[in-house]
Structure 1
Amino acid sequence: MWWFRRGLCALPVALVIWSSGTLLLSYAIAVALGHADLIVPYISDTGTDVPERCVFGFMLSISAFLGLGTMYVRYKQVQALVLASESGLQLINYTALLLGIFSSVGMCVVANFQKTDIISAHLLGAGLTFGPGMLYILIQIGISYRMQPRFHGKYILGSRMAVGIWSLISIITLSISSVLMYDALPDVDVAKKVHWQPGENGFIAHLASAVSEWSLAFSFISFFLTYIPDFQKINLRVQTILQSNRLHDYPDYEGRDCMQHDERSPLLAGAV
């Protein structure tokens, strides 16, 4: 069996491929049509104008649902593996799921409210995506530390820690460079500025901020690659339960018994 067909690893793989394609395709279209600069524009700048705006919003919304599904399966996996006596770890796992939901909602907000629409809604969506998303990664690193070596080896923990450090450095750099850029251009509406020229006042801070944003986005995407070995251990099955209730005889049916059938199929009756 091919590696991507083992367990549910196709879910994080699809999330990584689709999310990467979302960012790169909208960037390629925006640059080709002259709607964004070739030299590292902001991610939101590549989804501001039509047609890349439609592509970006549509694909990013699907990425949000793929991310939510991946994080829910991860939550159920940890829940099944954690011992009943480890109530603290169960609470941490539930907290991680809530943060993942907030981050996914933030992605949907970003997908539907671009910089040219309601800027406050767009910034709120970005904050919901990156803030809870960063906390989600840090909590998952802590869960991985508690669950090794009984569930996975140290290489999984090491890879998640490396991606976590990458994300942390990116978000700190993004915050600092953004503040410097706004300070350098107090009379300019930086939030809606799309085109930048080399040598322009604030260009270096903008470049550092944009690079940090792309780095942060791909660090988030790369984190889900570390789920592949864990998801290969999940087997999903669909269980059908048939219930029959004998009803009273009705004259219309000439004394024949009527049977009522009810089928239920739990979607996640999986085994780890």
Structure 2
Amino acid sequence: MWWFQQGLCILPVALVIWTTATFVFAYITAVVLNHVDPLVPYISDTGTVPPERCVFGIMLDVSAFLGIVTMYVRYKQVQTLTNKEPKLHKLNILGLVLGWTSSFGMCIIANFQKTTLFYMHLVGAILTFGVGSLYILVQAVVSLYMQPHIHGKSIFLIRLGIGVWTFASIISMFVSSVIMYSSLPGVDVAIKLHWIPGETGYVPHIISTISEWSLAMSFVSFFLTYIRDFQKIRLRAEVDLQSNHLYDSSHYSVASSFNHSETSPLLAGGI
């Protein structure tokens, strides 16, 4: 059995690979078609102009779905391992709500482009990155309370380090964006896709875009920390048959023996 077939680690692996592929595909397409500058454009700018906009939206929606499923499995894992210990149970529920809210924000980013509905796109970015960073922080705290009995200290330190990386990227992006917008009064920066080195606002623009890519990579890196944990999860679905037919009337009842239940894996590796 390959490592990615163990348990449910295919979920975070698929989330990381698919999301990275979304960014890379959109970037390459936008640069080849000269829709953006090659030097570190905003991620949103690479999914603004057709045809990359269409594919970017679809792929990011799939990433949001994979995120929702992955976060739910994580929630169930923590719930089972901690036996609903009150403090951890509340943190676990909070983490699930924050994670799903962040995934919903990703759907907004995917379907409301920056150049068409900027404020809706901004709301999606705040939900995705702002609320998502809180999700990472909550999971780091959960990892703190789960060690040393459930896992070692190293995984907590890694998640904490990624959390610090995430917040540092957010602060850097926010400060540089404020400087950029304030240095270009009267300019609609939201629809500005091409920048000339040396022009007003260019330096804070580059710092802002680098910070955004750094922020996105911190999110991707965080879900890599789930791979080892998810290798130890096996879920199964059980079907409990109440009848041997699908009619509404009992007139069709057949008194024959049949299996009342069936347990089968939902995914490779066992669910």
User: What TM-score results when the alignment is normalised by the length of structure 2?
Assistant: 0.91
> CA deviation digits over 1:182-221, x for unaligned, max 9?
1111121112211111001000000000000000011001
Give the distance between the partners of 1:102 and 1:169, measured in 2 at CA: 21
> How has the CA–CA distance of structure 1 residues 155 and 210 changed in structure 2, closer, same or farther, with 3 Å as cutoff?
same
Partner of 1:56: 56
> CA deviation digits over 1:220-241, x for unaligned, max 9?
0110000011101101222222
Three-state SS of the structure 2 residue aligned to 1:243 is coil
Partner of 2:168: 169
Three-state SS of the structure 1 residue aligned to 2:242 is strand
Three-state SS of the structure 1 residue aligned to 2:241 is strand
> How has the CA–CA distance of structure 1 residues 271 and 118 changed in structure 2, closer, same or farther, with 3 Å as cutoff?
same
Contact preservation (8 Å) 2:8, 2:270: no
Partner of 1:141: 140
Give the distance between the partners of 2:72 and 2:34, measured in 1 at CA: 39
Partner of 2:124: 125
Contact preservation (8 Å) 1:104, 1:129: yes
Partner of 2:70: 70
1:24 aligns with 2:24: yes
Three-state SS of the structure 2 residue aligned to 1:208 is helix
> CA deviation digits over 1:14-60, x for unaligned, max 9?
00000000001100000000001001100111011111101110100
Give the distance between the partners of 1:113 and 1:146, measured in 2 at CA: 39
User: What TM-score results when the alignment is normalised by the length of structure 1?
Assistant: 0.90
Three-state SS of the structure 1 residue aligned to 2:237 is coil
Give the distance between the partners of 1:149 and 1:99, measured in 2 at CA: 25
1:242 aligns with 2:241: yes
Q: Sequence identity of aligned pairs in percent?
A: 56
Contact preservation (8 Å) 1:248, 1:258: no
AA aligned to 1:110 is: I
Give the distance between the partners of 1:20 and 1:248, measured in 2 at CA: 53
Q: CA deviation at 1:265?
A: 7.3
> CA deviation digits over 1:92-128, x for unaligned, max 9?
1101100011100000001001012211111111111
Partner of 1:184: 183
Partner of 2:39: 39
Give the distance between the partners of 1:248 and 1:260, measured in 2 at CA: 19
Give the distance between the partners of 1:188 and 1:265, measured in 2 at CA: 61
Partner of 1:7: 7
> How has the CA–CA distance of structure 1 residues 184 and 74 changed in structure 2, closer, same or farther, with 3 Å as cutoff?
same
> How has the CA–CA distance of structure 1 residues 75 and 267 changed in structure 2, closer, same or farther, with 3 Å as cutoff?
farther
Three-state SS of the structure 2 residue aligned to 1:38 is coil
Mind listing any 5+ residue stretches in structure 1 that lack a counterpart? Answer: none
AA aligned to 2:75 is: Y
Mind listing any 5+ residue stretches in structure 2 that lack a counterpart? Answer: none
Give the distance between the partners of 1:50 and 1:28, measured in 2 at CA: 13
> CA deviation digits over 1:71-99, x for unaligned, max 9?
00000101111134x21210111011000
Contact preservation (8 Å) 1:249, 1:257: no
Three-state SS of the structure 2 residue aligned to 1:7 is coil
Aligned pairs for 1:199-218 within 5 A: 199-218=198-217
AA aligned to 2:73 is: V
Give the distance between the partners of 1:114 and 1:248, measured in 2 at CA: 53
Contact preservation (8 Å) 2:115, 2:190: no
> How has the CA–CA distance of structure 1 residues 20 and 271 changed in structure 2, closer, same or farther, with 3 Å as cutoff?
closer
Q: CA deviation at 1:154?
A: 1.7
Give the distance between the partners of 2:233 and 2:127, measured in 1 at CA: 29
Contact preservation (8 Å) 1:12, 1:70: yes
